[in-house]
């Protein structure tokens, strides 16, 4: 089953008389259960591509389908609601809410989904256990290491039971030990739970774990390799 399908998507940024085509005629599919890395030099269009797939940005032209829904047909509010239930995000800067505990950060999306308190509590406890930090439930982000914050971010991304997870440079701010722990967790979730991950990354450690590597150069796909055949 295709979780993501893009057809001929382009993104052109205009500034006064200057036009920059950040993503140029990209067509790809991501199937359920993939562990895929999008790679390429800075400025190659990785983040712009992921932002369009994640509904955070709108293509200048072309089609983006996620879980069979055409994103370009949705209004701004419909897109927000769709993201809430279908797409999990992990960012390199963690983006946790500083005044909330780890438990509350993971719970937050489920509050927006209006899930019952009993179900929220059970799911947060399960997720913090899954990412290996159940004892940090009542700790705020400032008291957590970078690696621990990123594990909370992964748990938060998983909380709404999304169609897939977008991870934009998730290891960029982590040391080697934290990176290994985080990648072990993500790989286990992928292999045991069938959770779909789509990364953008410069990190060779992420690339080495990927089952598929898509290379972008100047906004175009220049290579698409299945690494586990």
- The answer for residues whose C-beta is within 8 angstroms of residue 221's C-beta and 6 or more apart is 26, 28, 214, 215
Ranges in the chain, pLDDT < 50: none
Tell which CATH classification among 3.30.465.10, 3.40.50.300, 2.50.20.10, 3.40.50.2000 matches the domain 2-95+145-226: 3.40.50.300
The residue ranges of every structural domain in the chain are 2-95+145-226
DSSP string, 168-186: ESTTTT--HHHHHHHHHHH
What pLDDT shows up at residue 157? 95
What pLDDT shows up at residue 229? 59
What pLDDT shows up at residue 15? 83
What pLDDT shows up at residue 39? 96
> Which tens digit of pLDDT belongs to each residue from 193-228?
899 999 999 999 999 999 999 999 999 999 999 987
User: Where do the H-state alpha helices sit in the chain?
Assistant: 46-53, 76-86, 102-112, 117-130, 146-158, 176-193, 204-209
What pLDDT shows up at residue 10? 97
- Six-digit token string for 4: 């993501």
DSSP state of 225: E
What pLDDT shows up at residue 186? 93
What pLDDT shows up at residue 158? 94
């Amino acid at each position: 089953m295709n979780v993501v399908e893009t057809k001929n998507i382009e993104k052109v940024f205009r500034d006064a008389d200057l036009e920059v085509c950040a993503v140029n005629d990209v067509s790809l599919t991501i199937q359920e259960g993939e562990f895929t890395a999008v790679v390429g030099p800075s400025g190659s269009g990785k983040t712009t591509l992921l932002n369009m797939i994640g509904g955070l940005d709108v293509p200048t032209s072309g089609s983006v389908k996620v879980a069979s829904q055409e994103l370009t047909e949705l209004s701004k509010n419909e897109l927000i609601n769709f993201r809430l239930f279908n797409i999990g995000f992990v960012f390199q800067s963690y983006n946790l809410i500083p005044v909330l505990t780890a438990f509350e950060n993971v719970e937050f999306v489920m509050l927006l989904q209006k899930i019952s308190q009993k179900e929220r509590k059970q799911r947060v406890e399960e997720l913090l256990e899954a990412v290996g930090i159940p004892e940090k439930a009542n700790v705020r982000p400032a008291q957590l290491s970078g690696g621990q914050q990123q594990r909370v971010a992964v748990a938060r991304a998983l909380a709404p039971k999304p169609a897939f997870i977008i991870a934009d440079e998730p290891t960029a701010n982590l040391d080697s030990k934290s990176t290994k722990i985080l990648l072990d967790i993500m790989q286990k979730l992928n292999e045991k739970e069938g959770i779909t991950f789509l990364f953008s990354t410069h990190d060779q450690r992420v690339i080495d774990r990927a089952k598929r590597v898509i290379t972008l150069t100047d906004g175009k796909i220049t290579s698409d390799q299945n690494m586990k055949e």
